[in-house]
Amino acid sequence: MSEDYLYTIKKNVTGIQHSLPPGVLLVAAAKTRLPDEVKTAINAGIMAIGYNYIQEAERMHNIIGNTVQWHMIGHLQRNKVKKAVKLFDMIETIDSVELAEEVNRQCVSESKVMPVLIEINSGKESNKTGVLPENIDKLIIRINSLTNLRIQGLMTMGPRFGNPEDARPYFIATKAIFDRIKKTKVPHVEMRYLSMGMSNSYKIAIEEEANIVRIGTALFGERNI
């Protein structure tokens, strides 16, 4: 791995960090990245990294440790929850009662309280995970009593490729849900974080008031696989 490439990562991190408004958290999406890449990003100022897969996160956690926040940003299978609870500081992809209950059960075992975001399928796409917008109130009511979860906001994906403007309707719809829930002031539900936007769309997401953006390619370059 060349010094020039690692310098590019450092430069990318610095440039994006400086472009973000105050209060926006940059989560480095580290899927498939090597330890030197992740370490370089952290040394450049990254405070949080996100992973889609438990096994990959576990390997990196053994190297990096708790020097940064760890966010679960991919679909979480229930049979992986035990490891996820030990590894992550936030799970951004809660989308069912069953998943929430299993996370809570493992958190009780670990004496840990887990901040979670509810993942919204804002485009109502059959090939994507996330709760449908019309079902989110029912989901929140069902899981709000779980003692070791703290609902702290919403997450949505939006299109990964194509014209970044294509993502705007997804982000607008999710922000509207975020604002509506916030106004209802449901006890123990804190609409604090709105996680939207990836490398091609994070600028649009910020315009629609995201305060967590999940960026991989724009930091590290295209993935090898």
CB–CB of 35/60 below 8 Å? yes
Count of residues for the chain? 225
Report pLDDT for 224.
Answer: 58
CATH superfamily of 3-220: Alanine racemase (3.20.20.10)
- The tokens describing 48, both together, are 């949080």
Q: Is the pLDDT of residue 127 over 80?
A: no
Which residues does 5 contact at the CB level (< 8 Å), separation at least 6?
Answer: 221
- Pure H helices in the chain: 3-19, 35-43, 54-64, 81-87, 97-110, 136-143, 168-184, 202-207, 217-220
- State the average pLDDT for the chain: 94
pLDDT, tens digit (0-9, with 9 covering 90-100), for 77-118: 999 999 999 999 999 999 999 999 999 999 999 999 999 999
> Does this model's pTM top 0.85?
yes
Query: Count of CB atoms within 10 A of residue 51's CB?
Result: 26
Quote the crossing angle between the two packed helices 136-143 and 97-110, to the nearest 10°. Answer: 30
